[in-house]
Amino acid sequence: MTKTYTAKYTQIPSGYMGQLIEWPEVVTEGKTIEKCREMLQDALKEMIKAHKQQKKDIPVGRVLFEQLPAEV
């Protein structure tokens, strides 16, 4: 079964930090956004593997994003 997760990337002094919205414990950093994306995918795979071995529930994506207008 394939599940989809939402990644958030934040630019930091050393490059980029990537984190999954639905699973905040899955977080990593990379010098470029491409490297960060690759490392985040690897971190997700490892976290899924660990949860399966420990018979823990795997979070599912149920996040809704909405942009709200604001006068600034």
Cα separation, 70 vs 61, whole angstroms: 27
Among all chains, which residue has been given the structure tokens 């709200």? 68
For 26-59, what is each residue's pLDDT tens digit?
999 999 999 999 999 999 999 999 999 999 998 8
Q: What is the full DSSP assignment across the chain?
A: ------EEEEEETTEEEEEESS-TT-EEEESSHHHHHHHHHHHHHHHHHHHHHTTPPPP-------------
Q: Report pLDDT for 1.
A: 73
Q: What are the residue boundaries of the structural domains of the chain, listed by start?
A: 7-53
